[in-house]
């Protein structure tokens, strides 16, 4: 199977973490999202133009990070279990996956894009993003006060979704009072799957930031 992704993209990182956790081999296909010509070519594969996209060996396409991880979990029994078999625990994992995507990742990306001038938002949208992020962080911080990962003590899809946003959040949101979330972030950086993801995207990110700085 082939994964179309962009190393700096948080939703791509979410799926990469899952693939490494599950020890699944795949063919990487980097989509150069900053290059309009490359995006035009990619739109022939996936007209919606979003990454990540998983393409199976028979050509079947699976878009959307959560759906990709659901597919991986159903069809590959190797490595970590990212969606537990107990339905109530699985529902909690799905909740924290949604929460991480909508209320953690999306506002972080809005604030980041504004900061690095990739997009310009209206103040009302920035305020909404700050408010959402603040509420999400308070909730996650509280949730992490008595267990290791987002849902209990086992790593899950919820962690695949939350961890990528935390890297960029350091640039756009004050985190010093979020004791449990900071502990979680430190622990995430020790996780082998995420270290692998970082080893690809951090040099690219740092290079981009060095070029952008005056
Ligand atoms: N809900 C999608 C979101 C994917 C997404 O927004 N990916 C971003 C990169 S992180 C993207 O492709 N952006 C390109 C665009 O919006 O045109 C998922 O979970 O996969």
Residue nearest to atom 14 of ligand 1 (CA): 50
Residue nearest to atom 6 of ligand 1 (CA): 50
Residues with C-beta less than 6 Å from any ligand 1 atom: 9-11, 49-52, 64-66
Using CA atoms, how far apart are residues 205 and 122, in angstroms rounded to an integer?
25
Same fold? 2-75, 87-212: no
Mutate to test the pocket of ligand 1, among 38, 45, 51 (most ligand atoms within 8 A of CB): 51
Using CA atoms, how far apart are residues 181 and 138, in angstroms rounded to an integer?
9
What is the predicted pLDDT for the residue at 214? 66
CATH classification for the domain delimited by 2-75, as one of 3.40.30.10, 1.10.8.80, 3.40.190.10, 1.10.357.10:
3.40.30.10
Using CA atoms, how far apart are residues 97 and 127, in angstroms rounded to an integer?
23
Taking the centre of ligand 1 as the mean of its atom positions, its distance from the CA of residue 145, in whole angstroms, is 30
Tens of pLDDT, residue by residue, the chain (214 residues) = 999 999 999 999 999 999 999 999 999 999 999 999 999 999 999 999 999 999 999 999 999 999 999 999 999 999 999 999 999 999 999 999 999 999 999 999 999 999 999 999 999 999 999 999 999 999 999 999 999 999 999 999 999 999 999 999 999 999 999 999 999 999 999 999 999 999 999 999 999 999 887 6
Mutate to test the pocket of ligand 1, among 50, 53, 97, 108 (most ligand atoms within 8 A of CB): 50
Query: 87-212: which CATH topology?
Result: Glutathione S-transferase Yfyf (Class Pi); Chain A, domain 2 (1.20.1050)
Domain boundaries, the chain: 2-75, 87-212
């Amino acid at each position: 199977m082939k994964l179309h992704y962009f190393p700096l993209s948080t939703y791509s990182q979410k799926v990469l973490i899952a693939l490494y956790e599950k020890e699944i081999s795949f063919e990487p296909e980097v989509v150069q999202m900053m290059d309009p010509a490359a995006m035009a070519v990619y739109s022939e594969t996936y007209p919606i133009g979003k990454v990540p996209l998983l393409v199976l060996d028979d050509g079947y396409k699976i878009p959307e990070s959560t759906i990709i991880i659901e597919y991986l979990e159903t069809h590959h029994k190797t490595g970590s279990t990212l969606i537990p078999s107990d339905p109530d625990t699985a529902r909690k994992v799905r909740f924290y996956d949604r929460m991480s995507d909508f209320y953690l990742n999306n506002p972080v990306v809005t604030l980041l894009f504004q900061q690095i001038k990739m997009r310009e938002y209206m103040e009302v949208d920035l305020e909404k993003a700050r408010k959402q992020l603040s509420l999400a962080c308070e909730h996650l911080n509280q949730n992490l006060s008595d267990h290791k990962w987002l849902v209990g003590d086992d790593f899950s899809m919820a962690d695949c979704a939350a961890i990528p946003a935390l890297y960029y959040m350091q640039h756009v949101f004050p985190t010093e009072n979020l004791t449990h979330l900071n502990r979680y972030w430190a622990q995430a950086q020790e996780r082998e799957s995420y270290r692998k993801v970082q080893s690809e995207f951090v040099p690219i990110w740092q290079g981009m930031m060095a070029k952008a700085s005056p």
